[in-house]
A and B are shown apart, each in its own frame.
Chain A
Amino acid sequence: MARLGFGRGQLRDDRLPPGQYDTGSSFPVLTAEVSPKLTAQNWSFRVDGLVEKARTWDWQAAHKLAASGYEGDIHCVTSWSKLGTSFSGASLDTFLAEAGVLPQATHVVAWSHTGYTTNLPLAEVTGGRAWVVWEHEGKPLPPEHGGPARLLVPRLYFWKSAKWIGGVRLLDHDEPGFWEQRGYHELGDPWLEQRYAGD
């Protein structure tokens, strides 16, 4: 092994999961797709699959739901973490409650207006763990960060927080999404460093 003296000699923040670094005030952009020309006018969010009644919200309807936000840290699988940031929108719990989740539902697939998908266990996106957000640090979410609205699941690596969110479908089984079909971990817990399948 080469001599290991890397690092900037500063104390490691205990909010950082293993292998991650603090990006400070910057917010790196990471997408595999072209940012779509999506505006508040043509954005919508749909909940369907194993629900009592499939529902779609447009921009106005989504903004009438109880406001809810997140303050804390986010972690990207490419090794950056952003500490102490904030997002606001509405809790995914609120959308799911209005559609009525059926008892046999165990997983969701979140999909974007671009066609991107990502899968999540239902338990990871309920009970105050997931949001649909349209503001970042008090300003409208910019398109390159998923605006007008993205999913936010801050407990998991950020590829689960689908940009340009179009909806979630409730399923009774797990269905690998875009990255999950391409070698990334099905859950993606940063504290367990679940980056790639098999981690």
Chain B
Amino acid sequence: MHDETATARTFRMRILGAGAVDRHVPGQHYDVRLTAPDGSTAQRSYSIASEPTDGREVELTVERIEDGEVSPYLHDEIAVGDQVELRGPFGGWFIWAADTPALLLGGGSGVVPLMAMRRYWHSTGGATPLRVLVSVRRPEDLYYQGEWGTETTVIHTRQAPSGDPRTPGRLTAADLEPLLAALPEPVAYICGSAGFTEHASQLVVSLGLPAPNVRIERFGPG
């Protein structure tokens, strides 16, 4: 386990269970299922952050939602060596195997599946045209610091690092135009809150990307 930011933690999990291996495609998620002593259950989806490997381990990154049921539990109660019930991997739409030019747009914990895609792309040679845009509130909210490459642009909505010429604010067409211009017929993968994905998807369509080339995954409200 390690912390990505003050509120996000990455969990590396070993897959247990007879014959169980992880065979995911970047972008897929697992369902984490908790069962209370009275038998009631709570289940939430968490995207896989790691790239497909030998199938014995996966990484999930969980943002702590303060008044949430499951995410604070995972942050506060799970210790190294604990077992957690996982089901999956699931998802057959928001997936990318580095086979078509792609524009990945992520806000908040929406960067988790995008990192799996970026990691897979990187380790398979990085030949497919790719641009990534990550939207964070403040510099310290960026997940996976130090791992993003030149394909990635980070924009700040509340506070930018000193020296950044961009005025802090939400994603604009001007942020996206150079990225789209660099990509021949891309598919856009947009992941984050409902507000971020709705805004970003309408922007890319207004810039001329056909709606069928836009794939959206929404993580939470607002």
Report the minimum CB–CB distance from A30 to chain B (whole Å).
Answer: 5
Asked whether any CB of chain A lies closer than 8 Å to the CB of B201, the reply is yes
Among B150-158, B178-186, B209-217, the stretch that binds chain A is B209-217
Q: How far is A196 from B220 in the complex, measured between Cα atoms in Å?
A: 20
Give A49-98 interface residues, CB cut-off 8 Å to B.
Answer: 78-79
Asked whether any CB of chain B lies closer than 8 Å to the CB of A115, the reply is yes
Cβ contact within 8 Å between B212 and A115: yes
Chain B residues, CB < 8 A from A3: 77
Q: Encode contact with B along A12-51: 1 for CB under 8 Å, 0 otherwise.
A: 1000001101010010111111111000000000000000
Report the minimum CB–CB distance from B46 to chain A (whole Å).
Answer: 11
Asked whether any CB of chain B lies closer than 8 Å to the CB of A181, the reply is yes
Chain B residues, CB < 8 A from A115: 212
Give B62-101 interface residues, CB cut-off 8 Å to A.
Answer: 69-70, 73, 77-79, 82-84, 87, 90-94
Report the minimum CB–CB distance from B171 to chain A (whole Å).
Answer: 15
Q: How far is A189 from B47 in the complex, measured between Cα atoms in Å?
A: 24
Asked whether any CB of chain A lies closer than 8 Å to the CB of B14, the reply is no
Asked whether any CB of chain A lies closer than 8 Å to the CB of B173, the reply is no
Q: How far is A195 from B31 in the complex, measured between Cα atoms in Å?
A: 11
Asked whether any CB of chain A lies closer than 8 Å to the CB of B41, the reply is yes
Cβ contact within 8 Å between A21 and B69: yes
Q: Encode contact with A along B21-60: 1 for CB under 8 Å, 0 otherwise.
A: 0000000000101111100111111000000000000000
Cβ contact within 8 Å between A2 and B211: no
Cβ contact within 8 Å between A8 and B69: yes
Asked whether any CB of chain B lies closer than 8 Å to the CB of A192, the reply is no
Q: A7 is contacted by which of B69, B194, B220 (Cβ under 8 Å)?
A: B69
Asked whether any CB of chain A lies closer than 8 Å to the CB of B218, the reply is yes
Contact size class for A? 35 or more
- How many residues of B are counted as interface, with CB atoms below 8 angstroms from the partner's CB atoms? 41
Cβ contact within 8 Å between A29 and B92: no
Report the minimum CB–CB distance from A115 to chain B (whole Å).
Answer: 7
Asked whether any CB of chain A lies closer than 8 Å to the CB of B172, the reply is no
Q: Encode contact with A along B144-169: 1 for CB under 8 Å, 0 otherwise.
A: 00000000000000000000000000
Q: Which residue of B lies closest to A3 (CB)?
A: B77
Cβ contact within 8 Å between B91 and A183: yes
Cβ contact within 8 Å between B216 and A34: yes
Say yes or no: A26-B221 contact (C-beta < 8 A), given A8-B69, A34-B214, A182-B93: yes
Report the minimum CB–CB distance from B11 to chain A (whole Å).
Answer: 12
Report the minimum CB–CB distance from B7 to chain A (whole Å).
Answer: 18
Asked whether any CB of chain A lies closer than 8 Å to the CB of B205, the reply is yes
Report the minimum CB–CB distance from A25 to chain B (whole Å).
Answer: 11
Asked whether any CB of chain A lies closer than 8 Å to the CB of B198, the reply is yes
Chain A residues, CB < 8 A from B214: 33-34
Cβ contact within 8 Å between B215 and A32: yes
Chain A residues, CB < 8 A from B77: 2-3, 5-6
Report the minimum CB–CB distance from B38 to chain A (whole Å).
Answer: 9
Cβ contact within 8 Å between B83 and A34: no
Cβ contact within 8 Å between B201 and A19: no
Asked whether any CB of chain B lies closer than 8 Å to the CB of A114, the reply is yes
Chain A residues, CB < 8 A from B194: 28-30, 144
Cβ contact within 8 Å between B198 and A35: yes
Report the minimum CB–CB distance from A37 to chain B (whole Å).
Answer: 9
Cβ contact within 8 Å between A196 and B34: no
Q: Which residue of B lies closest to A178 (CB)?
A: B93
Q: Which residue of B lies closest to A4 (CB)?
A: B36
A-B contact pairs, 19 of them (CB 8 A): A2-B84, A4-B34, A4-B36, A5-B77, A6-B34, A6-B36, A6-B42, A6-B69, A7-B69, A18-B41, A19-B33, A32-B217, A33-B216, A34-B214, A35-B201, A179-B93, A182-B92, A183-B90, A196-B90
Interface residues of A (CB under 8 A from B): 1-8, 12, 18-19, 21, 23, 26, 28-36, 78-79, 114-115, 144, 178-179, 181-183, 195-196
